[in-house]
Amino acid sequence: MVQLYSNGDCLYATAVARQIKNDYPGCHLTWAIASFCKNIILNNPYADAVMEINDVAKNDAAALRRLKKSLQAKTAAGEYEQLFFIHNGDTNQAYYDGSIRSSILRAYRKPITVPLTPVLRLTETERNNAANFAINHDLRKYQHVILFEYAPQSGQSEMTAAHAVDIATSIAATNNAAVILSSANKVNSELPAVIDGSSLSLRETAALTQHCTFLLGSSSGITWISTADEAKQLPMVQLLNPDSVWSNPLSRDFERFHFSTDRLIEITDYGKDNVVSCVNLALVDFTAAKHQFNQQVPMHFRSTKTLCTTCFVMLNLQPSSHTLK
């Protein structure tokens, strides 16, 4: 099974791995995954082996195509009995219908009957590291502990570190709240209640959700790992860019796959005043905040235009403006 990256996409794909083990009882499943994402499936019970892929960078369509042809040749030669190329790239991009999870599941080309909740298996060390982080920052003294995904790799938001610190400072100053700024990038704040979360890995951050009460997210890895089976799914406000190339709002995903949206607010205006007002109300009355602030993220297919442009370049053709409309 080929699903290389990113972390959120690989979490969706854990359902496909589970389905393969269901459809082919007793099979030995090898998951081909990018080295920088391999930890997301550590201890996954549905992957018997991991094939690390180091030479297919993000958006390198040519390298992805070479990998696909190589694995197809090995399958034809009998090295593998079945090849499931579900990665959202190359021709599989045609499966995109406004939801990344949907496109990955459709690429399997067989019914998905197993639970869709992402499968995550944390280690005891990861849980302990998260627990020690909570103790060291005395999180128990706060009424609200807000996990803030402020540097998404998904392109779903254009949040900056300075803007995130400004928002976090305002929220912490007006509530009995700690705000954990979570990313791989270290941030500094003079306010003890605004906490740098960069010391924790993504998996440890999933464990940290057990010590949190709220999520400010951007439909990226931290958001999606919070929906995994070993994490605590938190009431959340998602800050989303409606003009991102790949649109993947949680509301569309949750509604399509029958997950509850009762504790989900999405806003596309993530100016400081709007975000702070929304969060302040949501901490007191989530339903009222959703009624006042929730914004529908429009469906668009800018990614289709990008894909078509790429195809024309590969074929050395000159697309007309009419073709790309």
- List pLDDT tens digits, range 5-36: 999 999 999 999 999 999 999 999 999 999 99
Domains of the chain: 7-107 (no CATH), 124-293 (3.40.50.2000)
Torsion angle (degrees, nearest 10) of CA 28, 33, 36, 42: -30
Q: Round to the nearest angstrom and report the end-to-end CA distance of the chain.
A: 35
Indicate the SS3 state at residue 118.
coil
User: Helices (DSSP H) in 154-263: which residue ranges?
Assistant: 161-174, 202-208, 221-225, 250-256
Run of H or E residues at 61: helix 61-76
Cα of 139 vs its chain's centroid, Å: 25
Phi, psi dihedrals of residue 299, rounded to the nearest 5°? -75, 135
Residues in the chain: 325
In the predicted model, residues of the chain with pLDDT beneath 70 are 152-156, 300-325
Q: Are 303 and 279 in contact (CB under 8 A)?
A: no
Sheet strands (E) in the chain:
30-34, 49-53, 144-149, 177-182, 194-196, 214-217, 236-239, 264-267
Determine the pLDDT at residue 205.
Answer: 98
Token code pair at residue 243: 């003009």
Torsion angle (degrees, nearest 10) of CA 10, 14, 16, 20: 130
**Partners of 181 in the β-ladder:** 148, 196
CA dist 174 and 273 (Å) reads 13
Indicate the SS3 state at residue 123.
coil
How many other C-beta atoms can be found within 10 angstroms of the C-beta atom of residue 193? 24
Neighbour-count burial for 17-47, b at 16+ CB within 10 Å, e otherwise: bbbbbeeeeeeebebbbbebbbebbeebebb
- Report cis status (omega within 30 of 0) of the bond before 321: no
Per residue in 237-290, pLDDT (tens digit) is 999 988 877 889 999 999 999 999 999 999 999 899 999 999 999 999 999 999
Please tell me whether the overall predicted TM-score, pTM, comes out greater than 0.95 for this model.
no
| Nearest Cα residue to 108 out of 190, 177, 24 | 24
CA dist 30 and 43 (Å) reads 13
